[in-house]
Amino acid sequence: MAVHDIVWKEQLDALLSQDWLVFVDFWAEWCGPCRMLWPVLHEIAEKHPTVHVAKVNVDEEANGPLAMDFAVRSIPQVTIFKNWQQVDQFVWALPLEQIESYIEKYSG
Residue 107 counted as domain residue: no
Active site residue 34: yes
Residue 21 counted as domain residue: yes
Q: What are 41-79's pLDDT values in tens digits?
A: 999 999 998 899 999 999 998 888 888 888 999 999 999
Residue 65: what residue type?
P
pLDDT at 6: 87
Taking the alpha carbons at both ends of the chain, their separation in whole angstroms is 19
Domain count, the chain: 1
Q: What is the CA radius of gyration of the chain?
A: 13
Given a cut of 60, whether residue 19 has pLDDT beyond it is yes
Residue 108 counted as domain residue: no
Q: What are 86-101's pLDDT values in tens digits?
A: 999 999 999 999 999 9
Active site residue 100: no
59 is in which domain, residue-wise? Answer: 3-92
Residue 71 counted as domain residue: yes
User: 10 Å Cβ neighbour count for 62?
Assistant: 12
Given a cut of 70, whether residue 108 has pLDDT beyond it is no
Residue 97 counted as domain residue: no
Given a cut of 80, whether residue 1 has pLDDT beyond it is no
6, 21, 24, 34: which is the annotated catalytic residue?
A: 34
15, 24, 31, 41: which is the annotated catalytic residue?
A: 31
100 in Cβ contact with 80 (< 8 Å): no
| pTM for this model (two decimals) | 0.92
Query: Which CATH number goes with the domain that contains 59?
Result: 3.40.30.10
